[in-house]
Structure 1
Amino acid sequence: MSYVEIELLGEALFKLASETALRSWLYERGLRRGVEKIVLSQINRRFGTVSLDLEKQIRRLPIERVEALAERLFDFEEEGAMINWLNEISG
């Protein structure tokens, strides 16, 4: 597990009320992990090393937004444009 994933697990443990909810969350995280891994790999290839802050921001997005990023990634000419888009959709 990466540092970011451990941090997210710690947050989830405080929020989840039952073992069933935890198991469901872990299953969903497993599916998300695959999507996130691909997107982060694509960003790495396109723009270079992904900063820890950027990785955290992406991992905290709803899965639908991560998928939207995957679809739009190659529309961005530079990393700054992608970060601006992420900031807009994040909040």
Structure 2
Amino acid sequence: MAAGKTVKSAIEELRNAVTGLDHAIDSRLDRERDRGEIEGEVRRVNTDRSRLAQELDQSQFRANRLEEVNREVSRRLVTAMETIRAVLDR
């Protein structure tokens, strides 16, 4: 009977070891899947950041250009008002 108990005990230990290995493999696969999802999210965030940086640069360029145009319009208005005053003063 001792040999039968030893075999049953060995089989139970083997079963426990295989179950533990299954759990370890499942955990590892879950971590790898999570890691892949995180890496994908990081790539998406970097893509968005690049796009937003480009849009910001374009907006800044446009704002600078509008400021230049505004100064030019103001200069021309001042010139027109001075011309009108000069004509009226004559």
Q: What TM-score comes out, normalization by structure 2 length?
A: 0.30
Q: What TM-score comes out, normalization by structure 1 length?
A: 0.29
Task: Select the structure that is richer in helix.
Answer: 2
Higher relative contact order (CA 8 A, sep 6+): 1
